[in-house]
Amino acid sequence: MKMVIGISGASGAIYAQRLLAALKPSGHDISLTASENALQIGQEEAGIDYRECGFPFFTPRDFTAPFASGSARYDVLAIVPCSMGTLGRIAHGLSDDLLSRTADVFFKERRKIILVPRETPLSLIHIENMRLVTLAGATVIPAIPSFYSKPKTIEEAVDTVVARILDHMGVENNLRPRYGV
């Protein structure tokens, strides 16, 4: 599959870091884009530079990225984490940076979109924007870990979310034990 991973400036860089680590050996064709805020938060929270992760990287202003056009064939867009700012821009079709333009393209081409917000508590504006993107066909997977697999480290707790993201992307994984298996 051809996939775009978008990273925006919510807290939770570790979710992006763990997702990219899981995708690396998957053999899928992965492209990356991250907002300026995400680049900064990636460094501060996780010591990660998304520009040097071994995937093709496109800056927020680079509208020459192939996935900025519907004519290039892609399968999945996942935005991890998705800030409420980016969610709002996407929900209202602003398309003013590569991330929101890519979401706009994936919506119009009826492609798979996964958004992983991390914010608490939620305002009515957040909830309405999540409702809008859900109605438009996106899947909202909040960055809310589960605990029935008894995670012992932050990474294991984070992976309970990353595993659900991978499942919805259609990427085989055994990151966490599955319930009842």
Q: Could you list the residues that contact ligand FMN (CB under 6 A)?
A: 8-11, 35, 37-38, 83-86, 118-119
CB of 98 to ligand FMN, least distance (A): 10
8/160 with CB nearer ligand FMN? 8
Nearest approach in angstroms of CB 12 to ligand FMN is 6
CB 72 within 8 A of CB 101: no
Helix-helix angle 84-91:98-108, to 10 degrees:
40
**Nearest distance in Å: CB 8, ligand FMN:** 4
| Smaller CB separation from ligand FMN, 53 or 171 | 53
Pairing verdict, β 29-34 and 2-7: parallel
Q: Single out the residue of 155, 150, 159, 168 nearest to residue 46, CA to CA.
A: 155
Which pair of tokens denotes residue 85? Answer: 């700012």
Q: Which residues is 72 bridged to in the sheet?
A: none
Q: Name which of 9 and 32 has its Cβ closer to ligand FMN.
A: 9
Nearer to ligand FMN, 11 or 173 (CB): 11
What are 58's strand-pairing partners?
Answer: 33
Whose tokens are 């984070």? That residue is 158
Q: Which is nearer to ligand FMN, 11 or 26 (CB)?
A: 11
CB of residue 120 to ligand FMN, shortest distance in Å:
8
Residue 163: CB minimum distance to ligand FMN, A: 21
d(CA 124, CA 162): 26
CB 16 within 8 A of CB 83: no
Query: What is the closest distance, in whole angstroms, from the C-beta atom of residue 174 to ligand FMN in the complex?
Result: 29
Nearer to ligand FMN, 104 or 119 (CB): 119
Which residue's CB comes closest to ligand FMN? 9
Give the H/E segment covering residue 6. Answer: strand 2-7
